[in-house]
Structure 1
Amino acid sequence: MTIGRFNIELLEAFVAVAEAGNVTHAGSKLNRTQPCVSTQLRRLEERVGKPLIERNARTMNLTAAGRILYQHATDILKSHDEARLRLSAPELTGTVHVGLPEWYATGQLQSIFCNFVKIHPNVKLEMTVADSATLHEMLSNNEINLAIALVSPSRAKPAGVVEEPLHWAVSESCPLTDPLPLILFPEPCPFRELAFSALARAGKQWYERITTTSVAAAQVAVLSGAGISCLPSGAILDGFKILKEHNGFPSLPSTELAIYTQSKTQSPIVDYLEVHLNDLLESAIAPRSALAGKMQPDLRVV
Structure 2
Amino acid sequence: MKRYDCPALGERLGERVPRENGGRDVTIGRFNIELLEAFVAVAEAGNVTHAGSKLNRTQPCVSTQLRRLEDRVGKPLIERTARTMNLTPAGRILYQHATEILRSHEEARLRLSAPELTGTVHVGLPEWFATGQLQSIFCNFVRIHPNVKLEMTVADSATLHDMLSANEINLAIALVSPVKPSPNGLVEEPLYWTVSETCPLADPLPLILFPEPCPFRDLAFSALARAGRQWYERITTTSVAAAQVAVRSGAGLCCLPAGAIVDGIKILREQDGFPDLPASQLAIYTPSKTQSPIVDYLEEHLTALLQNAISPGSALAGKMQPDLRVV
TM-score (structure 2 length as normaliser)? 0.82
Q: Which residue of 10, 13, 24 maps to 2:35?
A: 10
Distance 1:185 1:280 in 2: 28
Distance 1:205 1:165 in 2: 23
Tell me which residue corresponds to 2:99. 74
Is the 1:53–1:63 contact (alpha carbons within 8 Å) kept by the matching residues of 2? yes
- 1:85–1:69 distance in 2 versus 1, CA, 3 Å: same
Tell me which residue corresponds to 1:277. 302
Q: Which moved more, 1:111-120 or 1:271-280?
A: 111-120
Q: Which runs of 5+ in 2 are unaligned?
A: 1-18, 20-25, 322-327
- 1:295–1:99 distance in 2 versus 1, CA, 3 Å: closer
Question: In the TM superposition, what whole-angstrom CA distance separates every residue of 1:8-45 from its partner, at most 9, and x where no partner exists?
Answer: 11111122223334333322322223322121011011
Is the 1:104–1:110 contact (alpha carbons within 8 Å) kept by the matching residues of 2? no
Is the 2:45–2:313 contact (alpha carbons within 8 Å) kept by the matching residues of 1? no
Question: In the TM superposition, what whole-angstrom CA distance separates every residue of 1:98-124 from its partner, at most 9, and x where no partner exists?
Answer: 111111335322232222112111111
Distance 1:123 1:106 in 2: 21
Task: Give runs of aligned pairs for residues 52-201 of structure 1, distance below 5 A.
Answer: 52-56=77-81, 58-65=82-89, 66-105=91-130, 107-201=132-226
SS in 1 for 2:291: coil
Tell me which residue corresponds to 1:239. 264
Distance 1:123 1:257 in 2: 26
Q: Which residue of 57, 60, 64 maps to 1:32?
A: 57
Q: Which amino acid aligns with 2:229?
A: K
SS in 2 for 1:178: coil
Tell me which residue corresponds to 1:208. 233
Distance 2:222 2:142 in 1: 42
Structure with higher Rg: it is 2
Is the 1:164–1:285 contact (alpha carbons within 8 Å) kept by the matching residues of 2? no
Is the 2:54–2:308 contact (alpha carbons within 8 Å) kept by the matching residues of 1? no
Is the 2:128–2:240 contact (alpha carbons within 8 Å) kept by the matching residues of 1? yes
**Post-superposition offset of 1:283:** 4.4
- 1:228–1:68 distance in 2 versus 1, CA, 3 Å: farther
Q: Which amino acid aligns with 1:59?
A: R
Structure 1 vs Structure 2: percent identity of aligned residues?
Answer: 82
Distance 1:162 1:16 in 2: 20
Considering only aligned residues, what root-mean-square deviation do their CA atoms show, in Å? 2.3
Question: In the TM superposition, what whole-angstrom CA distance separates every residue of 1:79-135 from its partner, at most 9, and x where no partner exists?
Answer: 322222222221110111111111133532223222211211111112122211121
Distance 1:178 1:48 in 2: 58
Task: Give runs of aligned pairs for residues 242-281 of structure 1, distance below 5 A.
Answer: 242-281=267-306
Question: In the TM superposition, what whole-angstrom CA distance separates every residue of 1:267-286 from its partner, at most 9, and x where no partner exists?
Answer: 00001001110122234563
Q: Which runs of 5+ in 1 are unaligned?
A: 297-302
**Post-superposition offset of 1:263:** 0.9
Is the 2:43–2:87 contact (alpha carbons within 8 Å) kept by the matching residues of 1? no
**Post-superposition offset of 1:152:** 1.2
Is the 1:180–1:227 contact (alpha carbons within 8 Å) kept by the matching residues of 2? yes
- 1:21–1:108 distance in 2 versus 1, CA, 3 Å: closer
Q: Which amino acid aligns with 2:199?
A: C
**Post-superposition offset of 1:288:** 4.1
**Post-superposition offset of 1:4:** 4.7
Question: In the TM superposition, what whole-angstrom CA distance separates every residue of 1:138-185 from its partner, at most 9, and x where no partner exists?
Answer: 212212111000111211211111111112221222112211111000
Is the 1:183–1:222 contact (alpha carbons within 8 Å) kept by the matching residues of 2? yes
Task: Give the number of equivalent residue pairs.
Answer: 293
- 1:14–1:106 distance in 2 versus 1, CA, 3 Å: closer
- 1:98–1:63 distance in 2 versus 1, CA, 3 Å: closer
Q: Which amino acid aligns with 1:132?
A: S
Distance 2:93 2:185 in 1: 33
Distance 2:256 2:100 in 1: 28
Q: Which amino acid aligns with 2:169?
A: I
- Of the two structures, which has the highest relative contact order with CA contacts closer than 8 Å and spacing of 6 or more? 1
Q: Which moved more, 1:198-207 or 1:148-157?
A: 198-207
